[in-house]
Amino acid sequence: MTNHPPYSVVLTYFEDRQEFAVQAIDRIRFAPLIAGQFEVPILLDEFDFRLDDEFAQGLGATMLNLIALGQPNIKQYMSVTQRPVDRPLEE
């Protein structure tokens, strides 16, 4: 099994090509480039540490909405929920 360093994952939308690119970048090399940039913290304890389909869908919607802030033309293709999904409280 190959050992990999911890990665950051970058999602880029290329409007002229109408495609996304996903890149895995060595976190240590990438850290100086993102220092001080806009960050959206997603706390795993708020999701009971469950990385399930619901979590993945919310993460994807968040990423698409962030891309749309800088490239609003992508909104014509989006039909994702724009509100936080309420999670039922466990009793």
Let me know if residue 11 belongs to a domain.
yes
Question: pLDDT, tens digit, for every residue of 33-70?
Answer: 999 999 889 999 999 999 999 899 999 999 999 999 99
Residue located via tokens 């990423």: 63
Let me know if residue 88 belongs to a domain.
no
Cα-based angle 55, 58, 63 (whole degrees, multiple of 5): 125
Is the alpha carbon torsion for 12, 61, 7, 29 positive or negative?
positive
Residues 58 and 79 both lie in one domain: yes
Mean pLDDT of 64-88: 82
Residues 30 and 47 both lie in one domain: no
- pTM, two decimals, is 0.79
Residues 8 and 34 both lie in one domain: yes
- The domain in which residue 32 lies consists of 1-39
Q: Per this entry, what is the length of the chain? A: 91
Other beta carbons less than 10 A from residue 16's beta carbon: 5
Of 77, 76, 55, 71, which Cα lies nearest the Cα of 15?
71
Q: What is the torsion angle, in degrees rounded to the nearest 10, for the CA atoms of residue 49, residue 52, residue 57 and residue 60?
A: 60
Q: What is the pLDDT of residue 91?
A: 44
Q: What is the DSSP letter of 44?
A: G
